[in-house]
Structure 1
Amino acid sequence: AIHGEAPERVKKDLDLFADLGCNMVRCWGGSIYEDEEFFNYCDELGLLVWQDFMFACETAPQTEEFLDAVRREAEEVVKARRNHPSLAIWCGDNECDELFFYGALLGANQLPSSNRISREILPRVVTMFDPARPYLPSSPYLCDEIKRLNARYRSPEQHLWGPRDNWKGHFYKDNTAVFASEIGYHGMTNVESIRKFIPEAELNDRHGVSWTCHAAQQFGTPCYRNGLMENQAKGFWGYIAEDLTEFMKCSQIVQAEAMKYLIELFRAKKWSKTGLIWWNVIDCWPQFSDAVVDYYYVRKLAYYYIKNAQKPVSLIVSDPEAWGCRLTAVNDTAVSASGHYKVTDIETGEVFAEGEYEVAADSAAEVDYFKVCQADKRMLLIEWEINGEVSYNHYLLGSAPFDLDRYLGWLRKLDEKIYTAFGRHEW
C-alpha cells in the first residue's frame, strides 16, 4: 500500500523486493490501482503481482447503482492490466469476508456469499475479460461453510496475525494455513530516522502525542502498536529498555528473529505449505510499524535476516522435538542441490552435526537430526556448500529471556559471516 508515492519512489521500492529475493508483491485492497509503469517494472523484475480490487475491511453498498459503478470500474482495470505477465491473481477484496464471518456491522446471520460485489460482479468481470487468470473472492477467503462451522482458521489461505506475542507460540507454530497472504511482526524504526519526525523533546515519550500520531494504527487503544512493540521486546528480553537506542536494538532483534522464523517455518514444510506474503517491505510515511525498511530507506535488522532466509537454497534448523532438532534442506531452484554441511555453536565452535546433504529440485528434505539441550541458550551457525561457495544461516536455541549483550556478540559474528556482505553496518 503506497498511497501517493512519487513515481521515483515506486521503482526504488520494487528494487527492495528484488534484492530481498521476494517473488510476489500484493497490491492491497486498501491502496490504489498501480499504474502501467509499476506493472512494466514488475514484468521486468519477474515479480508476480497479487492484485486486490479496491475494497478493504468494509461492507460496501449493495445497491444496483453502486454495483454498476463497481462493474464499470473493474472492467476498465482488468482490461488495462490483463496483458502483463507479472499479474498472477485477482482478488475480490481484503478482509471483507471477515466482517461477514464475525457479524461486524452486518448481524450474525449474514453469509459471506451475500456480498454481491465479490461473489457476483467481480468474478463475472474477470471471467469475461481475463478468463485465464485465477480469481479469489476475498483474502482471507471464508466460504459460507467456514462460517457455519465457526472455523475461521480452517481456510487454506489465511492472514496470520493472531495474538502478536511469542512467534513460536501455538497460533503461529501450529498454524493450518497452506498459504499466508498476510503475516508480520513489529520492529522499531531506526533512531536516525525517528529524529526526523519526532521532536527532540518528545523522543522518549513513547505514548505521547507525536508517537501516537506516527503509529501504524491510531484508532482503538491509544498508541496500541507502540505499546505492542514494547510488550514484544519485553517478552523476549524480560524488560523494556528506557534508552531509545537500546530499545531500538531490542525491538529490531525481536522483529528480525520473528520474521526469519515465520518464513523458515513455511519453507521447511514445503509443499504442505506453499508460501507467504509478509507485511511489509517499506513504510509509505514516517511511522512505527512492521515494515523492514523505514520511510527514509533505512533498513532494519529484519531486512538482512529476511534476505538471507529467502535464498533459493537454504538449510534450516527446526525447533527441538524429543531432545533434538531437525535439519531441513530447502531448494526452490529447478535443479538438485548437494554439498557438505556443518552445524556449530557460534561462540564455542562445538560441532552439533556434520555431513553431506542432497535435495531434489523444487523440494525440501530432512538431512539430519541432532541432539540438543533445550535448557541451553545458544546460537547455532549452519554452513553449507552450494555451487562451490559457502552459505550460512543461524538458529536461536532456547527460551526467553535472552541477554542483550550476549546476543549482540552473536550478531557481530553473524555480520562477519553474512550481513556485512549485504551492506549492514553495526549499530
Structure 2
Amino acid sequence: MRRLLDQGWTVRATAGPVPPALEGVDVPATVPGSVHTDLLAAGLIPDPYLDANEALLAWIGDTDWRYATTFTWDADDARAGHEVVELVAEGLDTVATVELDGAVVARTANMHRTHRVDVTGLGVGEHTLAVTFAAPVPAAHRLSEELGPRPYTNEHPFNAIRKMACSYGWDWGPVLATSGVWRPLALVGWSTARLAGVRPLVDVRTGDDGATGLLRVHVDVVRAPGQDGSLTATAEVAGRSAAVVVPPGSTSATVELEVDDVALWWPVGYGEQPLYPVAVTLAAGDETLDRWSGDVGFRTVALDTTPDAEGTPFRLVVNGTPVFARGLNWIPDDCFLTRIPAERYRTRLTEAVDVGANLVRVWGGGIYESDDFYDACDRLGLLVWQDFLFACAAYAEEEPLRSEVEAEAREAVIRLSPHPSLVLWNGNNENIWGHQDWGWIEPLAGATWGWGYYTELLPGIVAELDGSRPYCPGSPYGMDPDVYPNDPAHGPTHLWDVWNKIDYTHYRDSDPRFVSEFGWQAPPTWATLTRAIHDAPLAPGSPGMSAHQKAAGGDLKLSRGLEPHLPEPQTFEDWHWAMSLNQARAVSLGVEHLRSLTPTCSGAIWWQLNDCWPVTSWAVVDGDGRRKPAWYALRHAFADRLVTVQPRDGGLAVVLVNDTGTDWAGEAGVRRLGFDGTDVETVALPFAVSARGAVTLPLPAGVATSGDPSRELLLAEAGGLRGWWWFAEDRDAALPAQDLTVAARAVADGYEVTVTAQALVKDLAVLADRVAPDGRVDDMLLTLLPGESATVRVAAPPGATPEALLEPLVLRSANQLVTPR
C-alpha cells in the first residue's frame, strides 16, 4: 500500500522577518513543491526571476515555514492488516521537524535523501501532519558554527548543510534558499518484508557467437519485527527468469541471469540504445510482498588512466571503444525543482544531443537528478558523469555531517545503478584544487575538509554497491595525490584562467588530456532578456542587468574579452549581439582546439548547457530554453567530422577530425583568398583519417602566410565541410559593410530566408526571437564569400512577417559591428 499525502496542504510563516500581510496567514500549498512557488501561486510575491525582485524576497530564506494538512485513516486502511506502516518522505528541504498529531516523529537535515518514519498503529480517524522547516539561511550559518567554519565560495556556508548548494546563490544563480516538501510524501504499508534496494548491475561477455549480457540483481530487504522466515527474490529480463532464496535472518541476495545474443547499449553516435525491462519480486511462499521494475542496458564501461609518454590520460571506454567526450555541464534547470517535469528534461537534454554532445556532467553543486533525467539520457544515448554533491568548498568529515553524507551517497548509488547512461562517479567539483590553490590550508588549521570523503568513503561505497562503473576522486584531479590537481597533462582539467584573466585565444596554449570545465559568458537571447528585465534604458550596468550578472567582475570580463576582437559597441543592441557573438567564437575556438588534439585529448565538456533562470552566463541554452548563438557555434564544433585550421610549429595546419565509425579519405582544398573572393594561393592535400581519429596536414608557407592580413583569409574544405582562418581580428580587418540580397517566403510552420552575399559576410545570423519570442532558426553564424547564397529555415508563429526577419537588428553579422574601411 502506498498512499500519497499530496492534498489539503497549507503553509504559514512562523518566525522571521515576515511581512505584516503574511503574519498568521495560511497559504494554500502544493506537495511536492516549495514555499516560493506556493507564494507565487497565491499572488503574494512578485516573480523572483524578474528585474531586481530576487533581493526583495531574501526574507523568505530567513523565515521558518510550517506546512500542515489533515488526512483520514479509515477502517479499510486499518483492516488492510499491514504489519508496518511508514511515513516516507522522499525529499524534505531541508532542516525539518515532522509532527503527527502534535507529536514530533522525526527531525531531518538533508534534502538529498529519503526519510522513513515508523507510524505503525496509526488509529482510525482524522490525523494532522505538519512539517516545520527552519529558515535555511540562518540554519546554514548556525550549522557552520557548530561544525567549525570552513572555507566556501559565494555568500553563505552551503558546505555546512546537506542542501542544494546553488540554492544559496552561485556565479550564475540567484540566492533563493528554498523550503518545502520537494519530493513525494506518502504513507506506505507492508507486511513480512519489503524491498529496501534493488541494484541490477550489468556486464557483457563477448565471444565468437556474439555478446552475452550478464545481469546481477542485488536485492536488499527489510523485515517486519518478528518476521525471520525464508523469502524468495525473483528477477526477470528478456524472457528469462531466475530466483534465489533469502535465508531466514538474511537481508540480501543476488539473482544472476544471462541474456544470449544481447544488443549492446551505445552512446549516441556510436550505436543504438536498446533497453531491457527488468522485473523483481519479493515473495514469502506464494505471497508476493513487493515489486520493483526498471530498465537496463547491456554495456561495459571503463576509464583509461594508464600513464603514457604525455602524462595521464582520462579516457572513457564503452564496450571496448574509446569515446571522445563531447560534453556539456548540467546545472539544475530551475531554482524551484518541482517545476521541472519529465518533458522539460527530455526537451533540454535533446538540445544537448542536437548540438552534437554525447555526455552530460551532473555538477556537484546541484542535486541527484530526477529519475526522469536519467531515463531521458538512457533513451537519448547521453553518457552521464555524476558528481557526488560537493562543490567549491571544504566539508567537515565529522558527525553529524558524515552520517548524512554516507546515507545520501548510498541511496544515490542504489537508485541510479540501473541506468546504462551513468558511466562515471566523481567525488567532488574543484575541492581538491581549491584546497591547494585557494588559500584554504591556513584557515583550516588542520581541520578536515573532505579528503576522506573523496578518497575513502565515496570510493568505498561505489565499490561496495556498484563496482560496474569507474570512480574519480574529483574534477579537476591529477589522478595521483602527488600531482598538482589541475595539471593539464594528468586527468581532467578545468580551464578557467582564460575567462577570468586572459583572452579566449589562449585556450590554444594548453594541450590537456581532458577538459571537464571551460566556458565564456554572454547575455541570454533578446526575447529572454527583455521578458525578464525592464530597465529603461537597458544598459550593461543598469539595475536589472546587474541583478542578472552574478559572476564577480562579470561585465568587466565581458568587456575585456571583447576588446581584442571587436570595436566597443555604441548601442545596447550592438553590445548584446557583440557579446553573444564573442561567446560563440570562444566556444568554437576552444572546442576545435581540443578536438584537434585527438587522441591525446579525449574530452571537452563545455560549461554549461543550461540555466536555472534568465541570466548572463556561460550557458548555450538560456533560462527560457532559447538557443544562444553559442549553441549553433558548438554544434559546428561538435560535428561528427570537423575541418579546422590550427597553429602548428610556427605555421598553420589543417586538422581533420573524424569522430565516426568509418574511415574518411579524400582531398582537402585550401585557399588563401582576398575578402573579394579572389584566390591568392591554393593547395590540394590528400588525406586519410581512420574512424575515431584525426590527422594534421601542415600547410606550405605560401598558403599559410598572408601578404595583407587585414584583407585576406584562409579557407579549408573537405567533404563538404569548411574551416576558416582569419589573419586579423575583426577590429583590425577591412570587413566590408553588410551587403546582402535577401528574400523571405512563407513555408509550413515558418519561413525560409535566402541570403546572397554581394560582399564577404562573416557570422551571419537571423535572430528570429527578436521578431517572435518562439522563433527559432535551423542554422546560424554562416560565413559567405561574395556571390555565395544560403537558406535559413525559420520556425516562427504566423505573427512573424517576412519583412520583420530582414530588419538590420534581426539579420545580423560581424560586419555590422566593424566600421567599414
TM-score normalized by the length of structure 2 = 0.47
Alpha-carbon contact 2:666-2:686 (below 8 Å) kept: yes
Q: Take 2:519 and 2:562, find their aligned partners in 1: how far apart are those partners?
A: 15
Corresponding letter in the other structure for 2:725? Y
Alpha-carbon contact 1:59-1:96 (below 8 Å) kept: yes
Q: What do the CA deviations read for 1:173-215 (whole angstroms, capped 9, x no partner)?
A: 22142000001112233333221112141412x2233122111
Bigger drift between 246-255 and 74-83 goes to 246-255
Q: CA deviation at 1:334?
A: 1.6
Do structure 1's residue 380 and structure 2's residue 732 form an aligned pair?
no
Q: CA deviation at 1:112?
A: 9.6
Corresponding letter in the other structure for 1:119? T
Corresponding letter in the other structure for 1:235? P
Alpha-carbon contact 1:51-1:90 (below 8 Å) kept: yes
Alpha-carbon contact 2:641-2:658 (below 8 Å) kept: yes
1:296 maps to 624
What SS does the aligned partner of 2:563 have? Answer: helix
Q: CA deviation at 1:153?
A: 5.0
Alpha-carbon contact 1:320-1:372 (below 8 Å) kept: no
Q: CA deviation at 1:264?
A: 0.9
Q: Take 2:601 and 2:574, find their aligned partners in 1: how far apart are those partners?
A: 36
Do structure 1's residue 268 and structure 2's residue 600 form an aligned pair?
no
Corresponding letter in the other structure for 1:85? P
Matches of residues 343-354 of structure 1 in structure 2 within 5 Å? 343-344=670-671, 345=673, 347-350=676-679, 352-354=682-684
2:693 maps to 363
Larger relative contact order (C-alpha < 8 A, sep ≥ 6)?
1
Q: Take 1:330 and 1:30, find their aligned partners in 2: how far apart are those partners?
A: 34
Q: Take 1:407 and 1:133, find their aligned partners in 2: how far apart are those partners?
A: 55
Corresponding letter in the other structure for 1:125? I
Q: CA deviation at 1:403?
A: 5.0
Alpha-carbon contact 1:358-1:367 (below 8 Å) kept: no
Higher normalized strand content (fraction of residues)? 2
Corresponding letter in the other structure for 1:325? L
Bigger drift between 104-113 and 57-66 goes to 104-113
Q: Take 1:246 and 1:290, find their aligned partners in 2: how far apart are those partners?
A: 19
Bigger drift between 269-278 and 224-233 goes to 224-233
Q: CA deviation at 1:124?
A: 0.6
1:211 maps to 545
Do structure 1's residue 123 and structure 2's residue 459 form an aligned pair?
yes
Q: CA deviation at 1:144?
A: 3.3
Matches of residues 87-106 of structure 1 in structure 2 within 5 Å? 87-102=422-437, 104-106=439-441
Alpha-carbon contact 1:113-1:144 (below 8 Å) kept: no
Q: Take 1:306 and 1:419, find their aligned partners in 2: how far apart are those partners?
A: 20
2:568 to 240, 243, 250: 240
Based on CA coordinates, which of the two structures has the bigger radius of gyration?
A: 2
2:762 to 386, 410, 415: 410
Q: CA deviation at 1:106?
A: 3.7
Q: Take 2:608 and 2:497, find their aligned partners in 1: how far apart are those partners?
A: 16
2:559 to 227, 230, 236: 230
Q: Take 2:537 and 2:606, find their aligned partners in 1: how far apart are those partners?
A: 31
Alpha-carbon contact 2:535-2:544 (below 8 Å) kept: no
1:111–1:137 CA distance, 2 compared to 1 (3 A): farther
Q: Take 1:307 and 1:145, find their aligned partners in 2: how far apart are those partners?
A: 38
Q: What do the CA deviations read for 1:289-346 (whole angstroms, capped 9, x no partner)?
A: 1112222233222211211111111121112644x42111111112101223323346
1:418–1:20 CA distance, 2 compared to 1 (3 A): farther
1:125–1:107 CA distance, 2 compared to 1 (3 A): same
What SS does the aligned partner of 1:104 have? Answer: coil
1:372–1:111 CA distance, 2 compared to 1 (3 A): farther
Bigger drift between 183-192 and 27-36 goes to 183-192
1:94–1:306 CA distance, 2 compared to 1 (3 A): same
Alpha-carbon contact 2:365-2:391 (below 8 Å) kept: yes
CA-based RMSD: 2.8
Alpha-carbon contact 2:511-2:594 (below 8 Å) kept: no
Do structure 1's residue 173 and structure 2's residue 558 form an aligned pair?
no
Q: Take 1:251 and 1:407, find their aligned partners in 2: how far apart are those partners?
A: 20
1:11 maps to 346
1:119–1:358 CA distance, 2 compared to 1 (3 A): same
Alpha-carbon contact 1:250-1:404 (below 8 Å) kept: no
Corresponding letter in the other structure for 2:344? R
Q: CA deviation at 1:352?
A: 3.2
Q: Take 2:409 and 2:654, find their aligned partners in 1: how far apart are those partners?
A: 47
Aligned length: 411
1:420 maps to 792
Q: Take 2:510 and 2:472, find their aligned partners in 1: how far apart are those partners?
A: 21
Bigger drift between 327-336 and 414-423 goes to 414-423
Q: Take 1:163 and 1:111, find their aligned partners in 2: how far apart are those partners?
A: 32
Q: Take 2:793 and 2:685, find their aligned partners in 1: how far apart are those partners?
A: 26
Q: Take 2:704 and 2:762, find their aligned partners in 1: how far apart are those partners?
A: 18
Q: CA deviation at 1:347?
A: 4.3
What SS does the aligned partner of 1:181 have? Answer: strand
Bigger drift between 272-281 and 57-66 goes to 57-66
Q: Take 2:610 and 2:360, find their aligned partners in 1: how far apart are those partners?
A: 12
Do structure 1's residue 326 and structure 2's residue 665 form an aligned pair?
no
Q: Percent identity?
A: 26
Q: What do the CA deviations read for 1:159-186 (whole angstroms, capped 9, x no partner)?
A: 00104232223xx222142000001112
Q: CA deviation at 1:154?
A: 5.2
Gaps of 5+ in 1: none
Gaps of 5+ in 2: 1-330, 739-760, 765-781, 796-804, 813-821
Alpha-carbon contact 2:504-2:561 (below 8 Å) kept: no
1:113–1:105 CA distance, 2 compared to 1 (3 A): closer
Alpha-carbon contact 1:215-1:287 (below 8 Å) kept: yes
Q: Take 2:736 and 2:447, find their aligned partners in 1: how far apart are those partners?
A: 53
Bigger drift between 295-304 and 347-356 goes to 347-356
Corresponding letter in the other structure for 2:402? L
Q: What do the CA deviations read for 1:239-281 (whole angstroms, capped 9, x no partner)?
A: 4213111112221222112111111111111111111100112
Q: Take 2:639 and 2:793, find their aligned partners in 1: how far apart are those partners?
A: 14
Q: Take 2:629 and 2:438, find their aligned partners in 1: how far apart are those partners?
A: 39
1:9–1:251 CA distance, 2 compared to 1 (3 A): same
Bigger drift between 26-35 and 356-365 goes to 356-365
Bigger drift between 286-295 and 338-347 goes to 338-347
Q: Take 1:126 and 1:300, find their aligned partners in 2: how far apart are those partners?
A: 38
Higher normalized helix content (fraction of residues)? 1
Corresponding letter in the other structure for 2:659? D
1:244–1:177 CA distance, 2 compared to 1 (3 A): same
Q: CA deviation at 1:395?
A: 2.9
1:114–1:41 CA distance, 2 compared to 1 (3 A): closer
Alpha-carbon contact 2:669-2:716 (below 8 Å) kept: yes
Q: Take 2:660 and 2:718, find their aligned partners in 1: how far apart are those partners?
A: 16
